[in-house]
A and B are shown apart, each in its own frame.
Chain A
Amino acid sequence: MNNGLHNLLLADDDPDDCTFFEDALKASLVPATVHIVNDGLELMQYLKGPEDKLPEMLFLDLNMPKKSGFECLDEIKSNETFKHLPVIIFSTSPDRNNAESLSRSS
């Protein structure tokens, strides 16, 4: 919590999708700020940065360059520090299989 605002993290490579997210967030009237990272590597770097920067929630896109959402998720869940970070996956993939495998792994 900083300034009473929830600290959110969004990992998505598509700028338009990011805009949509911000718009939705604003429209939702939830008091929160969101930090955006654009690829997997950047995500991990950010998470591994200073502790007080750790978000309350991570919104994770699966299709990201450099490191995919899957890989990041694996790393997060196996890391003691981030293990308990709530992760919300959102993806444009219509593939049910993905959803199933994700729910199994988390």
Chain B
Amino acid sequence: MSSELSRNDCFFIAEGGEMGELTRTKNWSDTSLGNADNWPQSLKTSVNIILNTNFPMFLWWGPELICFYNDAYRVSLGVQGKHPAILGMKAEEAWPEIWPTIKPMIDKVLAGDGANWNEDSLIPIFRNGSIEDVYWTFSYSPAYDEECNVAGVLVTCTETTEKVGTLKKLQDSEERFRMMADNIPNLAGMAHADGAIYWYNSKWYEYTGTTPAEMEGWGWQSVHDQEKLPGVLAEWIDSIKTGHPFEMTFPLKGADGRIGQFLTRVLPLRNKDGIIHQWFGTNTDITKQLETENAVRTSEKRFREMIAQAPVAISVLRGENFVLESVNTKMLEIMGKAKEEIIDKPVFEAMPDAAGQGFEELLAGVYNTGKPFIGNEVLVSLVRNGKPEEVFLNFVYEPLYDNKNRIDGVMAVATEVTEQVLAKRKLQEGADRLKMVLESLPQMAWTTSPAGEATFFSDNWHLFTGQSKEAALGYGWTKALHPDYKDAALKAWQTALATGTPIEHEYKVLNSAGEARWMWVKGTPMKNDKGDILLWVGTVTDINERKIFATELEKQVSERTAELESKNNELGRTNKELESFAYIAGHDLQEPLRKIRIFSDQILEGESATLSAGGKDRFDRMQKAAKRMQTLIDDLLAYSRTTTAEKKFEYTDMNILASEVKEELREELKAKNAVLEIQSLCSLNIIPFQLRQVFYNLISNSIKFTPTDRNPRIDIKGRKIRGEDMDNKKLSSDRIYCHISITDNGIGFEDEYRHKIFELFQRLNGKAEYSGTGIGLAIVKKIIENHEGAITATSALDEGATFNIYLPADEQKITE
């Protein structure tokens, strides 16, 4: 019988590939199994099965556990290994390197424990020239014989080294991953593809104070702001669905109760087929960052506002093209452009009119060197509001730094000073013109600053004094003054400066030969519209001749005045002497008269019996003469007193005064049935007792000089007149006078005597007709003159007389 197994035996080793061939062609009689024809059917079936399986399979049969395997398994044997040697070999011989490991498992199966299952187990195998660490997922299952005893072990296995390796790598990398994840400052977590979290790093648990059990799956929701949570969930679920990375910032509750803002990013991890198998996410605490951002934003906002409202023009230029990033209102005014026209454009593009004037270089300089630039009264040609203009600016370019301290822009701050510059120029022109005018004057001319220091002298000054231009400036000109006059001159100048009033002063100035000449200085402040003093301008005029003459004149005047004074004093003394003389004389003269009268009275009375008629008559005439003399002396005394008496002026109502005199003369008026009317007299500043005398004398006269054929009628009236209205030299034209007229209906006098009547001792009538000393009117006139007034008289014979008295009504002078 052939040991070759026939192919036609359908129960035995049909096909089976290479191993099928090897198994069929092997001489099994050398083995404990013997000839294949004698194998039990169960063996044949088992071998058949494994040879025709594409899944790696191995069979140990019989007490010696003879090895059988298929093509699929053969791959695992590699090269330089057990293939094909182990076919038909005893298991122990075939697998020495792992026998200790697998024998127990085989024995278990043989013992009837049933199949085992090992996943990813490390079962090293000798192949490819060495022992390789190979991972297997395998199952040892019982192979039964006809008697239903376990006759062998069927191994269904597959190498999972790669998988394990991959898994291990994965695990390792996962391990590394988690270590890193624990060490990063962020919170981190990992989720399965369905979004269920399975891991958080330690930082998460530290921050949230939660436990893994609480967090697993979808537990993270508990640390979210419940209001924001729906939004977060929606996003997360969407990401899971679409596989798009998740990014969101939301608040998370910390264990200490604080709420932090976390920027969360979750990225999908895909396998090599692009399928998401996990999600890896981080939460970065950006609370501070947000705060800072907010603060920066706020401060930026405030900065922008400040710039916008600043009273100076400010603009910010960014980048080397100097793009106009911001421009405030004031700057727009200076530029004469609208914001929309220029914002966000490079500055010289926005303002072509400013180009080519050197600013490009200045800006570049500041941008590159970081050195600020300051420009004063710089002229810029601009087109403003459509019109070309020349503008003067004070400006500063300052470099701007970014947060890495690199220059990324320039800030320009400017004020327009066109007006001031033009004004200054105008002023200068004005000053120059002034100088020209001053030089042309015949006098010496000068200007000073508002503070008083000389800024200019015309040539005439330098010619006269010999001072150089420099020497005279400031207060150098004082050196040319005569020393006696320096202090006064400076004082007057300081006063003028302090009060801003024009100065006029005289002093002596020394010429180049050292001779002093009198100068008249006149200076005026020149002011602008606002009233500020811009400068002082003035002249110095030579008045030497005039001054000398004036001085001489003054000297003479004061001499004359002194003379006059001494003469006056003499006069005063003489008057005083006269006064006392008159007084005493009058008094002493009265005394003998008194005696004469008394004695003659006594004789007349006592001796009337013994006296003859002639004797009585003579005594009578003697008495009358004595009386006359007394009256004369009284009147003389009165006359002398009018000049020498104290001039005690009192403001008096003349109506009252006249009425008092009227009362005094009651008897005399009554005796002659006289009517005396007093009307509208003024109140005047007069010496009462003297004016009383005036009225007394005039009224007495009027009564006396009225003939018996009529009743005396006397009218006293008053009115105010102006001195200039009266043609009277004694009246001052600018004074107001009270004109008092006293009119009677007496005998009057010839007009030709109207002046004479006022002379001393003048009488127009004989003693027999009318008594009188002839002094009365002289006294009246003297009194009126004492009062700086005047008196006139008008009359015609037998037609009464009018006396016109003018007294100053001196409450006010005419001032128009």
Contact = CB atoms under 8 A, between A and B. Distances in A.
A and B from one assembly? yes
Interface string A47-91: 000000000000000000000000000000000000000000000
Contact of B598 (A20, A93, A94): A20
A14 B598 CA distance: 14
A92 B595 contact: no
A92 B591 contact: yes
B725 to A, nearest CB: 40
B587 interface: yes
A92 B594 contact: yes
A94 B587 CA distance: 8
A16 interface: yes
Contacts of A100: none
B598 A92 contact: no
A53 B599 CA distance: 32
A92 B602 CA distance: 19
Interface string B594-625: 11001100100000000000000000000000
Main secondary structure of the interface of B (DSSP, over half): helix
A93 B587 contact: yes
A24 to B, nearest CB: 10
B590 interface: yes
Contacts of B599: 16
Contacts of A92: 587, 590-591, 594
A16 B598 CA distance: 10
Nearest to A63: B587
Given A92-B590, A94-B587, A16 B595 contact: yes
Main secondary structure of the interface of A (DSSP, over half): loop
Interface centre among A14, A16, A23 (most CB of B within 10 A): A16
Nearest to A16: B595
A58 B388 CA distance: 120
Contacts of A94: 587
A94 B590 CA distance: 11
A92 B588 CA distance: 9
Nearest to A17: B595
Interface in A19-66: 20, 23
B602 A23 contact: yes
Contacts of A93: 587
B638 to A, nearest CB: 11
Interface in B227-282: none
Contacts of B598: 16, 20
Contacts of A23: 602
Nearest to B599: A16
A93 B584 CA distance: 10
A63 to B, nearest CB: 9
Contacts of A20: 598
Nearest to B594: A92
Nearest to A93: B587
B580 to A, nearest CB: 12
Given A92-B587, A92-B590, A92-B594, 8 more contacts: A14-B591, A16-B595, A16-B598, A16-B599, A20-B598, A23-B602, A93-B587, A94-B587
12 contacts: A14-B591, A16-B595, A16-B598, A16-B599, A20-B598, A23-B602, A92-B587, A92-B590, A92-B591, A92-B594, A93-B587, A94-B587
Interface of B: 587, 590-591, 594-595, 598-599, 602
7 nearest A-B pairs in the assembled complex, by CB-CB distance: A16-B595, A20-B598, A92-B591, A23-B602, A92-B587, A92-B590, A93-B587
